Structure 1
């Protein structure tokens, strides 16, 4: 194995780069086999605040997989005595205080399977430079605190690359001799090299002229493969909405003359916010009703919003170093969450708008609990601002993104919308054009916080900053006492957060977090009780827990209340309160806070499934669910006062990941069998009501991805899934009818997913085969086809290996690998956790195969084993064996080694 001390980078070791590089001029001779790059740097030795120049005279540049051709300094050619060249660095010795450095090198895009740097996808070329891909293009100071103004010249074959794009504004383009042409680009805003982008290919282009709030004209463009322009209309609409929302909500305008999006078929991430030239995974651009589901439409709008919002929160103000990644990602995830919530609520009456926003909040919490909560308790646990890393690519995590967004949301809760906006304005006023830290952002919010409480020195965010330095999910234990004689309700909250991940090895003494907890109290009829707090009478109170334990007293409470805790999920914590089932049923039936109402139903369902799982583990059979729960569930199904989208979320069972975390030791097979037993029993007990819900929520007419019709489809298809699980009479026929007559991909895929679960239906098997034949020329649809089979309860390792042999499958395309291999290993507990350990052997095989092609994708698949040490002994032993096999494999990448080594260290 590698020695960790050789590769680990620590936040505390940060030093400013000793040189400034204010201007970069790049010239590319584009060729898939070998691209020539001439990089001219204006270099100035850094002068500190005291007027002292940096001590070193050597300029150290990063580079990987490059061939050096020549070096000139101030026009003079440099020989080998003037520089030191290694596999990863180029050091120019004794550089003058000011110099013009020109380095000519070549790279091999066609050989670059990592999809980092400059690479080939189909017949086109793309770049991906975040986090450290620019060093695979040319020698440079590849770090985010080196910000430069870029001038770029691209030359290439006119027929192969009629579109040659880079960041910023198009300055000039012209035809050259020998079938070549040239385009010149200038980005007037200084940026780090991770935001550089280059695209060359033959694309269709959708264009739209718009005006910014200040009246400037701006050209919006979306480039995609020829023949797909009809699938980019929704993306363009989403971009226009994003632009308007950022102007209205935060006063932030587009700052360039044009904004471009390019869709790539081969892409490691969802998308990338390169300044003015966003490169997207095609899955987050292309959509029409025949090929994209409601979820696809929603994801496209959210991701386009996210990358556009980065123009200010990430590009205009960027990260000083990669430890500050959540500075841009957590903040921008919060912004895209708010954008989506506002879009879902747009134009609706107040009650419906509140429900729409609650639906978005529920979706975000589900995502957090499925991905980030397990991460917080596993080997990769880290604060939203990590203290160290070996490969920064491994820290694009749910903690940095989703938990980072929750930390921003807590600041928004503490300051309110007006105060938070004031803090954002101050942040941009102080730091526009700079590379800064998380502390700089909190400082701007502190300024706004103090303005709300003038003259009170105790009001500060010092305790709140611990969210940036401490890992783990805090648990908040709540106790409530009610005194009927004094009509007082006494509430005590105690927080704890055990050491996790590397904290266990450092004896870290964890301090209390600053946790805002929104609460309400319900009377016996489910009505909100008026609460007196800070001189006001309100229905919801924000309590700020800053100490290990704190207490609050509420006066004039007429009867024993039921607490409604953590309304709107006001903090990323786990609430511990000893609710009775009757209290949960009361909250489920009456709580006016839509999130808390959903949460009560999820807790009731979780208790039922855990009980069934324990029975399965002990006896091999699942017991019956309680009639009281069935009745409560049925009442939600039939409650026409609730919108369909909310009911679909309320009736969906808690995820496998959420439920597994509640068992010690974890037993994924027991949970999977219990969830299926629950689905069967609910389908049987509520068959009449489910069929009625199915019929009542059909969406005839033209397709619309709006929240109303998409919510109806979600409820309709959920009802169909329950009926099919229960094997109710005619459920299979109904599914086949929907599959054959669906007018949109949402309904078609819902039917396909159900048919893929049928073991003894020839019609179902024919439908699965026919789906491929019909859609084989639509890559994103075929990804769905693979995923539907990968997650079927019928799918075994043998079946997955058979699908890997299908002509349409390739490991080299990340989307295809995610659709089949990732879906099986992460979202098919019965197949992956087969008792013979075959799923774990398969996992190791694929991690090693992917590692040779694309280490970044391999490392993400490696995360499927994070929880191995918490599993039942028979499973954990088999998982450990395969982790050790991967860790000891000769030539394993640093990306994958970091993941498996940390897993094995626990």
Structure 2
């Protein structure tokens, strides 16, 4: 699809098949930092040993480093780097390499390596950022013990933190400068190295491990934000105790530090003993954080803590194995989060996210297995496939082996591989050896891209029900032929007359292209409940009568299956023309239930993007019009019930309990439906809620519906919100997002105007809040004139020279051009070609754009 007159320069492709163990190991590393934002000097002393019998040189990676001196075993060496490599030919099998380099943290806009953020200095080294700090074999299978000395201006940087435990500290120059020394006794890859220097204040606490050791805990942030760290600290202590109970994993250092920074490409980083967090996932109080924010803080804190064992003590051999640590740790944080509130609601939320992002990846040009086999830029593979689908693959192992079998497998994994850099295969083999199960076919989940589709037919004759299940996986780039995978499918039958389940739930293991399940003693034709609890990450294709979906939405005893029945009924209704009476009636029946948290999730209609995902060609305008019409019908048909749900939950006292959060959620979902009636009374109620809210959940919910409307209070509400919270970056991010997500006709113009707002910047959070939010606004991004695509490409090109990692993520929606009509597809392709024709394009954006067009 590229212009025939343009041939872009293709960067080097890294392939799994080319993996070779490191030629040299680095058992110990000593780092000495003389820190300053404009010029930091780093002295690195590496003890290196030859790995095996060979005569290959030691190759050290380095990027944007000024080499000041180099010695080998104490002797000066004049070797200079070539490109991004420093190559040394060593005569013996061991050597001590010492380098002195200069770096400029204040100029490091990529936010990889050592960089300045909010007056502080901090690091981010995953995946390949350590090479921007010093020369080193920057790969995850080189494990070293680190000792670190830092020296800095005592007034500008009174706090000096690094991995491990502090062993010494002192003052120099009459107290104008000070220093600190840290050691980490546990061998780790360089991507887990961390350093923070700044004017920070701690929230302190302590935790006593199951063996009786006391661990000092601290969350470091700006002094004014310390009170907003209490929720994160509570989550940390809860996750430490949870990991001991559920996995037998105890923390292994004397201290555990977390630092919150404003500029961060990701959510957080699990550096050993010193987690560095995007402040979005640490700071939370009722005034500034929604219930979803509180839940996200707890989940991310737990996720990064759980990495101490699943990622740090046992790490990846190479970056192709990224899901080894991320998929497993996402599964663990999902388990943890389910234990803190409603398991059903958590499962619904996990699956909704999977379908919204990962299913799109599987169906697009960048589809890849959870263990990909090649990449150009590893940063592009921090994807929903590696993380979220990876977690679903772990969950299937948990389902197949059972709780006890899975725990035995993880115990063996920890015992067998502690202190090693290993592969996904090593994890599966531990599960296999501990359980006695043959998981040969299951391994295909690691090798094949794409979302399997399970076709279902139900036959009933006499007193026998016969269920036929067929699995297929569509072709994906580079993988035209798919083999059957081993997947667990939970199913149950229900009696149509009584509403009761017929017998026990069954776990059917699909291993062939076709599987037949025969169930005797079923006197009348039953109703079939499938993929209960979403036991496998598949698309179920079942020509189920609407009446059966209505029945399951009312009677299924599996909460996820009940939710799924209503969602599938909604999809069927929204994807067709004609009456929506069955759906409207089912929504009303669900609204009459007694679990506010579940009701709030179940009555939400599928998003426009998800509806489009089910179609061969996304009919942008028709989908929007149909969904709005059905929302209006459901809102007006049950107007009194929506008002009852709204008013009945409006007086609940604020609390961060599952019950209180469920009531707030239902109240705000009800408000959304009331706004769909178009009645002035709803607009007045929304503005009153906005003005009088005592928490961010209610305030932003009201602002969101007003921002999406023509209510006369809309402009005043947006202005009042900004005036109240200007200066608080995380809250102003929400203000940007609600405007970019609006379905109003002027949304693109408003979004472009916001890029000129004084508070707009290339901070990754701010970019995601505005440009990223607009990128998932299906109606307005995909305007038929292509203006939305041009805006998105403009932003990618603006960000790419500054932060290529963030730029590559922003352009993802353009890669879905095959799903749209030819007019829109041509406009998207034109923007992708425009990106590829840009001189000095980063390899991050190049890889995404070229794959999108391939």
Instruction: Tell me the TM-score normalised to structure 2 length.
Output: 0.98
**How many Å separate the matches in 1 of 2:711 and 2:314?**
58
**How many Å separate the matches in 1 of 2:742 and 2:92?**
64
Give a deviation string over 1:794-836, Cα, whole Å, max 9, x none. Answer: 243221111111111112x11111111110111x222211121
Secondary structure of 2:557's aligned partner: coil
Specify the alignment match of 1:481 in structure 2. 459
Tell me by how many angstroms 1:678 deviates.
Answer: 1.9
The residue correspondences of 1:206-285 to structure 2 (distance < 5 A) are: 206-285=203-282
Give a deviation string over 1:404-427, Cα, whole Å, max 9, x none. Answer: 000000000001111100000000
- Is 2:799 the partner of 1:850? yes
Tell me by how many angstroms 1:699 deviates.
Answer: 4.5
Tell me by how many angstroms 1:431 deviates.
Answer: 0.1
**How many Å separate the matches in 1 of 2:620 and 2:301?**
35
Distance 1:17 1:172, change over 3 A: same
The residue correspondences of 1:122-271 to structure 2 (distance < 5 A) are: 122-177=118-173, 179-271=176-268
**How many Å separate the matches in 2 of 1:224 and 1:296?**
18
Cα RMSD after superposing both structures: 1.3
Tell me by how many angstroms 1:683 deviates.
Answer: 1.3
**How many Å separate the matches in 2 of 1:364 and 1:575?**
17
**How many Å separate the matches in 2 of 1:134 and 1:343?**
36
Distance 1:203 1:95, change over 3 A: farther
The answer to whether the 8 A contact 1:38-1:105 is kept is yes
Secondary structure of 2:260's aligned partner: strand
The answer to whether the 8 A contact 1:526-1:586 is kept is no
Tell me by how many angstroms 1:713 deviates.
Answer: 0.6
Secondary structure of 1:866's aligned partner: helix
Distance 1:670 1:166, change over 3 A: same
**How many Å separate the matches in 1 of 2:434 and 2:454?**
28
- Is 2:26 the partner of 1:29? no
Greater CA drift, 872-881 or 190-199 = 872-881
- Is 2:758 the partner of 1:835? no
The answer to whether the 8 A contact 1:790-1:824 is kept is yes
Give a deviation string over 1:29-58, Cα, whole Å, max 9, x none. Answer: 0010111000000111113xxxxx2331x1
The number of residues matched between the two structures is 847
- Is 2:467 the partner of 1:491? yes
Tell me by how many angstroms 1:647 deviates.
Answer: 0.2
Specify the alignment match of 1:54 in structure 2. 54
Specify the alignment match of 2:494 in structure 1. 522
Tell me by how many angstroms 1:664 deviates.
Answer: 1.5
The answer to whether the 8 A contact 1:84-1:92 is kept is no
The residue correspondences of 1:567-582 to structure 2 (distance < 5 A) are: 567-582=532-547
Specify the alignment match of 2:294 in structure 1. 297
**How many Å separate the matches in 1 of 2:338 and 2:428?**
24
Secondary structure of 2:197's aligned partner: strand
- 5+ residue gaps, structure 2, are 1-5
Secondary structure of 1:143's aligned partner: coil
The answer to whether the 8 A contact 2:86-2:135 is kept is yes
* Aligned match for 2:589, one of 635, 658, 664: 635
Greater CA drift, 29-38 or 627-636 = 627-636
**How many Å separate the matches in 2 of 1:572 and 1:670?**
28
The answer to whether the 8 A contact 1:332-1:405 is kept is yes
Specify the alignment match of 1:615 in structure 2. none
**How many Å separate the matches in 1 of 2:119 and 2:410?**
43
* Aligned match for 2:523, one of 531, 547, 558: 558
Secondary structure of 2:575's aligned partner: helix
Tell me by how many angstroms 1:3 deviates.
Answer: 6.6
Secondary structure of 1:867's aligned partner: helix
- 5+ residue gaps, structure 1, are 48-52, 345-355, 451-458, 532-538, 613-622
Give a deviation string over 1:182-222, Cα, whole Å, max 9, x none. Answer: 00000000000000001110012100012001000100110
**How many Å separate the matches in 2 of 1:375 and 1:95?**
49
Secondary structure of 2:800's aligned partner: helix
**How many Å separate the matches in 1 of 2:196 and 2:524?**
67
Specify the alignment match of 2:448 in structure 1. 470
Greater CA drift, 669-678 or 713-722 = 669-678
**How many Å separate the matches in 2 of 1:129 and 1:265?**
17
Distance 1:307 1:636, change over 3 A: same
Give a deviation string over 1:109-146, Cα, whole Å, max 9, x none. Answer: 11110001111112111100000000000000000000
Distance 1:700 1:626, change over 3 A: closer
The answer to whether the 8 A contact 1:24-1:150 is kept is yes
Specify the alignment match of 1:779 in structure 2. 729
Give a deviation string over 1:822-856, Cα, whole Å, max 9, x none. Answer: 10111x22221112111011011001001011000
**How many Å separate the matches in 2 of 1:753 and 1:773?**
17
* Aligned match for 1:742, one of 684, 689, 693: 693
Give a deviation string over 1:505-564, Cα, whole Å, max 9, x none. Answer: xxxx32110010000001113534444xxxxxxx21100000111212111112111110
- Is 2:812 the partner of 1:887? no
The answer to whether the 8 A contact 2:609-2:778 is kept is no
**How many Å separate the matches in 1 of 2:626 and 2:846?**
35
Secondary structure of 2:475's aligned partner: coil
Secondary structure of 1:836's aligned partner: coil
Specify the alignment match of 1:351 in structure 2. none
Distance 1:529 1:639, change over 3 A: closer
**How many Å separate the matches in 2 of 1:280 and 1:673?**
41
The answer to whether the 8 A contact 2:42-2:102 is kept is yes
Tell me by how many angstroms 1:608 deviates.
Answer: 1.4
The answer to whether the 8 A contact 1:119-1:126 is kept is yes
Tell me by how many angstroms 1:467 deviates.
Answer: 0.2
**How many Å separate the matches in 1 of 2:691 and 2:603?**
26
The answer to whether the 8 A contact 1:520-1:528 is kept is no
**How many Å separate the matches in 2 of 1:526 and 1:807?**
63
Secondary structure of 1:85's aligned partner: coil
**How many Å separate the matches in 2 of 1:2 and 1:210?**
58
The answer to whether the 8 A contact 1:526-1:591 is kept is no
Specify the alignment match of 1:721 in structure 2. 672
The residue correspondences of 1:635-654 to structure 2 (distance < 5 A) are: 635-640=589-594, 643-654=595-606
Specify the alignment match of 1:338 in structure 2. 335
Instruction: Tell me the TM-score normalised to structure 1 length.
Output: 0.92
Secondary structure of 1:24's aligned partner: strand
**How many Å separate the matches in 2 of 1:331 and 1:852?**
34
Secondary structure of 1:65's aligned partner: coil
- Is 2:379 the partner of 1:390? no
**How many Å separate the matches in 2 of 1:834 and 1:571?**
35
